[in-house]
Amino acid sequence: MNPTAHLDALARELTAFIGLLELEAAVLAANQADALIPLISQREAANRRIASLWQALTNGLGLPATTGLPALREQCIGLAPESWRQVEEMARHAERMNRLNSRLIDEQLRRTQAAVQVLSNAAGSRTLYGADGRMSEFLNPNRSIDSA
């Protein structure tokens, strides 16, 4: 396969990967954790396909599979400039989307940790059960608010 064909295949896969990242961002922003489960496996599969295409491209050019964008640019810009620019632009877009998703995950984690801390503090400040094994007075369902 020639470099242009490799780059075009890589561009197609990056387009699909960016679609997954955008969907992941929407799911994270909507706080729909259950919807992330299928996306994770799809994203991992896309990562493997991209890595395989990257390796095929670098091998075809006689470069190590670990070759990064700057070194690969030197080889590809002269062979297939338009295809290379497309791949480079998409790779940068995917990187930005991945950073955004990481920030969304960090924010969600921060909110979850804060909620857990509030609940932990609330539970720790009162004893649920007394020494006799019965529920504490503050949880007595027969107690009315006006008798407090």
pLDDT digits (tens, 9 = 90+) for 33-69: 899 999 999 999 999 999 999 999 999 999 998 998 8
At 70-118, the pLDDT tens digits run 889 988 999 999 999 999 999 999 999 999 999 999 998 998 899 888 8
DSSP 7-46: HHHHHHHHHHHHHHHHHHHHHHHTT-HHHHHHHHHHHHHH
Give the span between the Cα atoms of 13 and 11, in whole angstroms: 5
Q: Are 9 and 55 in contact (CB under 8 A)?
A: no
pTM of the model: 0.76
Distances (CA, A) of 147 to 57, 67, 138: 77, 74, 12
Domains of the chain, residue spans: 3-126
